[in-house]
Structure 1
Amino acid sequence: MIRLAEIQVILVLLVAISSPSTAQSLEAVDQWIAEALANNAALGAQKSSIEVARAGVDSSDTWADPVFKYGIAPETLAGPNTVGHRFELSQQLPWPDQLSASRKAAEAEVIAARQDTQWRVRQLTASVKGAYAQWWFANEAIELHHETRALVEQLAKVSDQRLSYGVGSQSQMLRVQTELDTLDARLVELKADQARLAGKLIPLLGRRPTDSNLQLSLPPDTPLVSNGRNGMDHPMIEAAQAREAEARARLEIAETNRRPAFTASAGYNSLWADDSKRWMIGIGIRIPFSGQRQHSAVRKAAAEVSQHQWRTTQAHREWLASIADMKASVQAGYDRLDILNQRHLPNQRAHWEASLNELASGTGRLEDAINSARQLNGVKLARAAIIRDLYSARAGYEALLPMDTTDVSN
């Protein structure tokens, strides 16, 4: 039989190997967020849309450019008389409410662009946190794989010692070696998955993340905050409301275009022999011939207002559905993590220790010990997956909080 002292040494080593790692994170999630907000191309393009909208505000309520006309009588160039010239300057006169409606439409476009950018910042922040959790999980899976291999190596030592004392078999040693070979092949797959994930993160971060052990800290399981003012001050909904306001302003513009358009003009015509007739002032009126074109424009603008009203309603409903889904995911994640930490993981660790003791004493089977090592790794991996999903769900929930809501996790 294997000596008791040797078994105790093996068990001490196993406990040390299976204990959680305390390695410090080399890259923090805040660093990732800062890099993404500074370098993400999609966000940069969205920010530029604000400047595009701002540029339209400055000229939105200005008058149309005046029109200058000049004419000459060619046959007077070679004749004995004075060369005939004609000058005219005309200016279209806008309706005051037409200019104010144009200004409101441009300002609403700026608000929509700002809110879209704010919503994009929130989405990007949540995406970065989710990517950080994925990268942490990929590294954690490799670390747990090494822990499992260390456990199987301890089984190999126990089997070798049992064989040296004549109570084991060669087939047990070969079975353990086969398990180690299987684990080595699995490690190749895990590292390939990690490399592929690193490539997928380049568009988000602008670079490949470093291959390091990361730590993911979850906020405490506290009651989630309320929905604030029913979500109407969330940037996603405020952007929809701004576009609805822009559509209403453009409807006002279409209504004013149904009125007659006035043009004032002043000019000089040297062809008149009488000097008193050469200077002229006038006014022009553009009267819709049938009004069909203007009526169609009003109908189109009114339909667009209705369209944006429905989109605002849909945005609010989608917000309510999304935040309810995220809250359920967050709460379920905390509940699952609590069960796993308090019951499942301790029980599986006890099962592994019992399997190892039984194998060392000759009362247990090698296959049971191998399965126990696998199951212990599976439970730890399931715990890491819960933490990953919970962290991502929490980030998504925070992105959906109204603007005036204070997040309890901050």
Structure 2
Amino acid sequence: MIRHTGVQTVLAVFITLSAPAAAKPPETVEQWVEEALANNATLGALQSAIEAAEAGVDGSDTWADPVVKYGLAPETLEGPNMVGHRFEVSQRLPWPDQLSASREASEAGVVAARHDSLWQTRKLTASVKEAYARWWYSNRAIELHHETRALVEQLAEIARQRLNYGEGSQSDLLRIETELDTLDIQLVGLRAEQARIAASLIPLLGRRPGSSGLTLTAPPRTPMATESLAEIDHPLVKAAEARTAEAHARLDAAEVSRRPVFTASAGYNSLWADESKHWVVSIGVQLPLSGQLQKSAVRKAAAEVSQHQWQTTQAHRDLLDLLGDMTAAVQAGHGRLEILDERHIPNQRAHWEASLNELASGAGRLENAIDSARQLTGVKLTRAAVIRDLFSARARYDALSPTQTNALPH
């Protein structure tokens, strides 16, 4: 005899197997960003660049390796006297400020690499958000196309009813059916465009995107950054500033290279008969006689400092320019969206309803009703385009914004 709990278990398994599979949740823009950041090759290369720069810091202020020399007099090997040896250890003595300048240059290189990675992360995030907006718009265009067809189907139903009552004409019905055929042809083009967009997103995501249940809303109104900032805490500018600091440190090191180079050495030489002369301690000096090599290095380093200073200035100006463009685009997008929601769409919806009623009563013209149906979904498509462009502009603005948190990668 089967126990009661066993029956419940069997029923539970049966219900589970017979229930329809849960619908796949819609893909979100956050999911896209996470996938892209995890698989992007450029970010991976920049992370390796950070690791390489950090490895260079460790030995940047280290003394040069000592030089060990050993000499042997071969003819003493079989002679009556003791074997002649000469042993020497020499060490190049660096200037302290030369070591500190070298370390400062390496550390500035690490900062620049980290800011490069952060800037690339910002740009990639903005690109993914723009791609998501394009994909959403493509799907929304097909949804509105089906809505347009449904509106025209309403006109066809009215035309059939009027024809049955002897008040309409066969040509009106045929005109509507021709319009439906035209819409079907347009749908083929929309689906082809959707397929092209899906293929273009494979390099970004590593796969084709899903199209079920996508949602995209306009970003909220928030205060925008001022365009008159004297200093901008942005990775694009900070990377340029770090490279300028690195060039300054390289210039300091080049200036030190114009000084004499000292070498200390100690050794043992058994070739001397006098044992008091076996141990030797010496100091060597390398003098830059012409100094041309050192002067050339200093001039090159100074030119690189000037180059990076100009690049930093231009990066600051470019950033302010782009911030101004994106601020204007975001503000204009909100303005257009407000007009569409409060006036344009309600007015067009009222126009469609009036055209539909007039056609049903025999007072309206069929062409006006068809045009009104297209305009109603057309203005909704315009609204979708505004949201797409506004979302993209806001994503680019966020990438450029100096107020965004700058979490440097390690």
Residues of 2 paired with 1:309 and 1:92: CA distance?
34
Are the counterparts in 1 of residues 76 and 82 from structure 2 also a CA contact under 8 Å? Answer: yes
* CA deviation vs aligned residue, 1:184-220 (integer Å, no higher than 9, x gap): 2221221222222122222222332112231112233
Are the counterparts in 2 of residues 87 and 269 from structure 1 also a CA contact under 8 Å? Answer: yes
Residues of 1 paired with 2:374 and 2:84: CA distance?
103
Are the counterparts in 1 of residues 225 and 403 from structure 2 also a CA contact under 8 Å? Answer: no
Amino acid at match of 1:254: A
Amino acid at match of 1:248: H
Counterparts of 1:35-50 in structure 2, within 5 Å, are 35-50=35-50
Q: What is the deviation of 1:224?
A: 2.5
* CA deviation vs aligned residue, 1:266-299 (integer Å, no higher than 9, x gap): 2222322222222222121111121111101101
Residues of 2 paired with 1:26 and 1:75: CA distance?
88
Larger mean Cα displacement after TM superposition, 233-242 or 200-209: 200-209
Amino acid at match of 1:161: Q
Q: What is the deviation of 1:227?
A: 5.9
Counterparts of 1:364-403 in structure 2, within 5 Å, are 364-403=364-403
Counterparts of 1:270-285 in structure 2, within 5 Å, are 270-285=270-285
Amino acid at match of 2:335: D
Residues of 2 paired with 1:341 and 1:368: CA distance?
23
1:403 to 1:98, Cα distance in 2 relative to 1, 3 A: farther
For the residue of structure 1 that corresponds to 2:92, the secondary structure is: strand
How many residue pairs were aligned?
A: 384
What residue number does 2:104 align with?
A: 104
TM-score scaled by length of structure 2 = 0.88
Are the counterparts in 2 of residues 25 and 215 from structure 1 also a CA contact under 8 Å? Answer: no
Q: What is the deviation of 1:81?
A: 3.6
1:37 to 1:290, Cα distance in 2 relative to 1, 3 A: same
1:231 to 1:126, Cα distance in 2 relative to 1, 3 A: farther
Residues of 2 paired with 1:44 and 1:227: CA distance?
33
What residue number does 1:265 align with?
A: 265
Larger mean Cα displacement after TM superposition, 33-42 or 221-230: 221-230
Residues of 2 paired with 1:231 and 1:165: CA distance?
76
What residue number does 1:53 align with?
A: 53
What residue number does 2:155 align with?
A: 155
Larger mean Cα displacement after TM superposition, 31-40 or 325-334: 31-40
Residues of 1 paired with 2:35 and 2:331: CA distance?
30
* CA deviation vs aligned residue, 1:126-177 (integer Å, no higher than 9, x gap): 2222111111111111111111111112222222222222333333222222
Residues of 2 paired with 1:228 and 1:125: CA distance?
26
Are the counterparts in 2 of residues 91 and 265 from structure 1 also a CA contact under 8 Å? Answer: yes
Residues of 2 paired with 1:357 and 1:73: CA distance?
118
Residues of 1 paired with 2:35 and 2:404: CA distance?
26
Are the counterparts in 1 of residues 219 and 390 from structure 2 also a CA contact under 8 Å? Answer: no
1:25 to 1:129, Cα distance in 2 relative to 1, 3 A: farther
Residues of 2 paired with 1:375 and 1:141: CA distance?
14
* CA deviation vs aligned residue, 1:337-383 (integer Å, no higher than 9, x gap): 11111111111111212222222222222222222111112111110
Residues of 2 paired with 1:117 and 1:318: CA distance?
19
Are the counterparts in 2 of residues 24 and 214 from structure 1 also a CA contact under 8 Å? Answer: no
What residue number does 2:93 align with?
A: 93
Are the counterparts in 2 of residues 98 and 256 from structure 1 also a CA contact under 8 Å? Answer: yes
* Aligned residues with identical type, % of pairs: 69
Are the counterparts in 2 of residues 25 and 214 from structure 1 also a CA contact under 8 Å? Answer: no
Residues of 1 paired with 2:205 and 2:50: CA distance?
23
What residue number does 1:252 align with?
A: 252
Moved over 6 A (4+): none
What residue number does 2:16 align with?
A: none
Residues of 2 paired with 1:283 and 1:382: CA distance?
82
1:220 to 1:404, Cα distance in 2 relative to 1, 3 A: closer
Provide structure 1 residue ranges, at least 5 long, that are not aligned to the other structure.
1-22
Larger mean Cα displacement after TM superposition, 163-172 or 23-32: 23-32
Residues of 2 paired with 1:381 and 1:97: CA distance?
66
TM-score scaled by length of structure 1 = 0.88
Residues of 2 paired with 1:56 and 1:122: CA distance?
26
Amino acid at match of 1:53: A
What residue number does 1:172 align with?
A: 172
Larger mean Cα displacement after TM superposition, 370-379 or 215-224: 215-224
1:81 to 1:186, Cα distance in 2 relative to 1, 3 A: farther
What residue number does 2:242 align with?
A: 242
For the residue of structure 1 that corresponds to 2:283, the secondary structure is: strand
Residues of 2 paired with 1:350 and 1:375: CA distance?
12
Q: What is the deviation of 1:231?
A: 4.3
CA RMSD of aligned residues (A): 2.1
What residue number does 2:31 align with?
A: 31
Provide structure 2 residue ranges, at least 5 long, that are not aligned to the other structure.
1-22
